[in-house]
Amino acid sequence: GRLWPAFRRFFLWRYYAEYFPIKLHKTADLNPNKNYIIGYHPHGILPFGAFANFNTEATGFSEKFPGITTRPITLEMNFWLPIRREKLLFFGVCSANKESVEWIISKNGKGNAAVIVIGGAAESLDAVPNTMELTLKNRKGFVKLALENGTSLVPCISFGENELYSQKHYDDNSLVKRIQLKLKHFFRMAPPIFHGRGIFQYTYGFLPYRKPINTIIGKPIDVEKVEKPTDEDVNKLHDAYVKALIDLFYEFREKYAENPKMEIVIK
């Protein structure tokens, strides 16, 4: 993406972040002489926290992590509309295809962080308030990329992302959920059934509720380069990533979760 730094610093983004509000919390330094893949969880109905923290400077990412440039990743179909495409490029957003991510982490110098919302559209169907169900068990492509390029993995979790809209929880075997997943298969977008608040009333509408989002960036997991990683290599690193993410969740759950007894589910 043709990143335009001034666009990221545009003053309106601060008001956007303050609406909820959205805050970014650092637990470890990121070395500007290395590249990273940051895994963001959960997706939510829409990843408002990911946008504020990594597309803009509203929460002060560059101040907290000097020398690191974030490159948010999105579906290639989001670049098909001309005006939307240019806006995404100004934010520094790149396509989710393998070549784009590899360019970020191996061919664009150092100090780059590809930010991937790992659960994707499927996870939006589980964005139910006071839950943390993550689509992660079989999401291993980002782990393989990290191994092939020797790129450190950084777990990142947001408390409050799932509380911004009301959505009924449907069991995975229910008719509604099966229809939603079938539509996702054909259109690559999941159709969640949800509602938020209105402009002048709080009971129904499509604006997100004003609830805080606290995003925690965890400690990097160093990765040694393996040109042709085996399934065992991938699974071992994936297990380490999942463990680090779960540990991060429980470390900060009591402080930032609306429901301090909420459990994390990996599916």
For residues 44 and 58, what is the distance between their CA atoms, to the nearest angstrom? 19
For the cut 90, the answer to whether the pLDDT of residue 182 exceeds it is no
For residues 153 and 174, what is the distance between their CA atoms, to the nearest angstrom? 35
Query: Looking at per-residue confidence, does 20 or 171 come out higher?
Result: 20
pLDDT, tens only, 63-110 = 999 999 999 999 888 888 888 999 999 999 999 999 999 999 999 999
Is it true that the peptide bond before 21 is cis, omega within 30 degrees of 0?
A: yes
Task: Give the residue-averaged pLDDT of 50-55.
Answer: 98
pLDDT, tens only, 231-265 = 999 999 999 999 999 999 999 999 999 999 999 99
For residues 10 and 8, what is the distance between their CA atoms, to the nearest angstrom? 6
3-class DSSP state of 184 = helix
Task: Give the residue-averaged pLDDT of 149-158.
Answer: 99
Sign for the pseudo-dihedral over CA of 202, 258, 246, 33: positive
What pTM did the predictor assign? Answer: 0.94
pLDDT at 203: 83
pLDDT at 176: 83
Neighbouring residues of 259: CB distance < 8 A, sequence distance ≥ 6 = 130
Q: Where are the beta strands (DSSP E) in the chain?
A: 22-26, 36-41, 69-74, 94-95, 112-117, 132-134, 152-159, 166-167, 194-195, 213-217, 264-266
- Estimate to the nearest angstrom the gap between the alpha carbon of 88 and the chain centroid: 16
For residues 33 and 161, what is the distance between their CA atoms, to the nearest angstrom? 31
pLDDT, tens only, 210-233 = 999 999 999 999 999 999 999 999
pLDDT at 186: 74
pLDDT at 163: 98
Tokens at residue 28, please? Answer: 């470890």
Considering only 39-48, 60-69, 114-123, 182-191, which range has the smallest mean pLDDT?
A: 182-191
For residues 72 and 54, what is the distance between their CA atoms, to the nearest angstrom? 7
CB atoms within 10 A of CB 29: 12
pLDDT, tens only, 99-150 = 999 999 999 999 999 999 999 988 999 999 999 999 999 999 999 999 999 9
Above pLDDT 70, what percent of the chain? Answer: 99
DSSP, residue by residue, 90-134: HTT-EESSHHHHHHHHHSS-SSEEEEEETTHHHHHTT--TT-EEE
pLDDT at 1: 59
